[in-house]
Structure 1
Amino acid sequence: MSTAVIDTSDQSAAGSEPAASHLVTVTFRIRRFNPEVSAESAWEDFTLDIDPKDRVLDALHRIKWEQDGTLTFRRSCAHGICGSDAMRINGRNRLACKTLVKDITAIKDGKGAKPILVEAIKGLTVLKDLVVDMEPFFQAYRDVMPFLVTSGNEPTRERLQSAEDRERFDDTTKCILCAACTSSCPVFWNDGQYFGPAAIVNAHRFIFDSRDEAGEQRLEILNDKDGVWRCRTTFNCTDACPRGIEVTKAIQEVKRALITRRF
């Protein structure tokens, strides 16, 4: 029995586009800083053919692996949980692992209309390229006692809490300590002694926890001249939060608790 053979040599290419046809050419303009080379930072351009659905973090990996191995940035989980890759992208604080190329640049004729600007977050000392010194940020976090404080003997069972009590501070449990909110705050830019939104958010998480017994102590810490009263309610922090936390609302609730001593 003969076997039919289908000749595909003359088939139209319409149904088999080149594998790279979906790629677009995008320029990433990165603010570079290397204290061993110069005391000044400078912008440097890198051009990539990239899928517009790729993330900025993917582009940074490509640049480091393929073009310049000295490019320095932080990243860990790459899924918006660790918060380590916060940076300014097109003038806004974002997580590089959650920011898609297509969402931050217009694509025209297979090219990005404008370069994508990437730089370190503001208000913290830049160590190299996109890496900043996070120690002042974490010191403020530690200063507000971000842990449960109770008295008496260690319980023999878990400390139960109603769903209503849990909901009271549920929003502020979402913080991943990325510093996007704090480094978007103009008060923090001008005075690094200010506790900053992230520290206040993490104090809120325990001040309003019905199981905790150190609410008054935390409120007194935040009643300091560099504490919660420095907030000017610009909403930059809320806009910058990659987890959607209502940061400004939490800060106002802490202010109200300081006035009324009800929490």
Structure 2
Amino acid sequence: MTSPLKTTRNGAVLEVVLDRPKANAIDLATSRAMGEVFTDFRDDDSLRVAIITGAGEKFFCPGWDLKAAAEGDAVDGDYGKGGFGGLQELRGLNKPVIAAVNGIACGGGLELALSADIILAASHASFALPEIRSGTVADAASIKLPKRIPYHIAMEMLFTGRWIDAEEAARWGLVNRILPADDLMAEARAMAQQLAKGPPLVFAAIKEIVREAEDMKFQDAMNRITKSQFATVERLYRSEDQLEGARAFSEKRDPVWKGR
């Protein structure tokens, strides 16, 4: 059986390509495989950044595989580690993830992109949440999207299932930038390499603070930091990298981050 995922390591960068012709839809087995890949990425200290994209030029991912569902895959089945697509519920994922959206990203595919930290889009990419038309709910998107783009635009997408193109997605802040299709992966890889040179313990602290503080009042979140209640922040403050950053600044040189 052909693997639905193609993975490539380039130094500290892991590239994951969802490759399930014809549309890169995700069934239960693929979701479980994605969970294993991203769990391994999370736990491998030699990997610092991941890129997720789709094979081909038309589809990033349309989400749930309705054909597999018709053949017996239960919508409430075992998605594996990290939930659907292996990312959106993966605990402790404190490394940067870039989504390179190379085409259609709808339903669970849009939710997969929303699970990344940075979204780059090809100029022909398009986005939608068509679940409403089949009488179901885009559950993860209902939680995430109104926090990422203006509330009224998010609710319109959820209520109507209408499509938006890459330019509109950028206008609402859904994607970081739009690129010609031929330049998409080159830009994603360049950004990943740039991030891979950064301080991994700082990235981890940023991700934990952002994640945990999302529904907290500002002062409550600050109090958790000052009371040493964020594990990644405490690890950073007691690390060799913290000292290295100060030394490199005083010595007017680039720091050498070791992640410890």
TM-score (norm 2): 0.25
Which structure: larger Rg?
Answer: 1
Answer 1 or 2: which has greater helix percent. 2
